[in-house]
Amino acid sequence: MNMKKKLYYYFLLLILLSSCEEKINLKVPDSYTRIVVEGEITTEKKSHLIKLSVTSSYFVNQPTKYLSGANVSISDGNVTWQLKEKEAGHYYTESDVQGEVGKTYFLRIENVDVDGDGEQEVYTASELLKPCANPDSIACSKIKYMNDSVYEIKLWALEPEPVGDYYYWKFYVNGKLGSDSLQKASYTDDLIVNGNYIYGYPIIRFRKEQAKIF
């Protein structure tokens, strides 16, 4: 095959490859604004945090819009804790609040106008504080993952019955919280492992310098 034929074939190949590209403009309709609530109540004695924000258009690349000025409270049916807003959209309990396994906790959010219609709205939620699996051991090791060098945290524990438990793991790298957003969060349910012993389940993979999970 001479040089002219080689160049011709390469040129034809480039034409075929370029013809496979097509720009598509997706039109995603905007929906109404919704409230986003992030928070927890645990058995730790600490200041518990509830974060309030609102949704935005999928294609709008801007910082999270937090919801200020709300009245936020948590109750166990007997005692009610009023949360204080210490920064925009971040509401905290006092530092001595401690949840108790077996109790149902109620969240109430008032004095907000999420949809902007001029009328105040009230949002409520409740959840039973369930017992958590007690880890037998946790190990962290450096491994190769997707041609990269990462750290992996594994868990050994007996997952309790019945089905319906959900798990959310946090991790720290050199004292810094690595799971500081939902994007970096590691969470799952117990549908597959319900009632079974978990042998070295990899709950988190992250790069040490970036505190990023996979």
Q: What pLDDT is attached to residue 23?
A: 65
Give the residue with greater pLDDT, 202 vs 210.
Answer: 202
Nearest CA to 83 out of 50, 42, 123 is that of: 50
Candidates 81, 83, 50, 46; CA nearest to 66 is 50
Model pLDDT, residue 99 = 96
Specify the higher pLDDT residue, 158 or 6: 158
**Other beta carbons less than 10 A from residue 160's beta carbon:** 14
The model's pLDDT over 122-139, given as tens digits with 9 standing for 90+, comes to 999 999 998 888 899 999
> How confident is the model over 73-93, as pLDDT tens digits?
999 999 999 999 999 999 999
Q: Do the Cβ atoms of 67 and 51 come closer than 8 Å?
A: no
Nearest to 82 by CA among 48, 32, 56: 48
pLDDT at 11 over 80: no
Q: What are phi and psi of 154, to 5 degrees?
A: -115, 155
Range 157-163 average pLDDT: 89
Task: Report the DSSP pairing between strands 84-87 and 35-39.
Answer: unpaired
Q: Please check the confidence at residue 182 and state whether its pLDDT lies above 80.
A: no
Rounded to 5 degrees, φ, ψ at 176 are -100, 130
Neighbours of 15 (CB within 10 A): 9
What is the CA angle 44-70-75, rounded to 5?
40
pLDDT per residue as tens digits for the range 29-84: 666 789 999 998 999 999 999 999 998 876 677 788 999 999 999 999 999 999 99
Query: What is the overall mean pLDDT for the chain?
Result: 83
Nearest residue to 82 via CA among 109, 122, 102: 109
> What's the pTM value of the predicted model, to 2 decimals?
0.73
* Contact (Cβ atoms closer than 8 angstroms) between residue 130 and residue 103: no
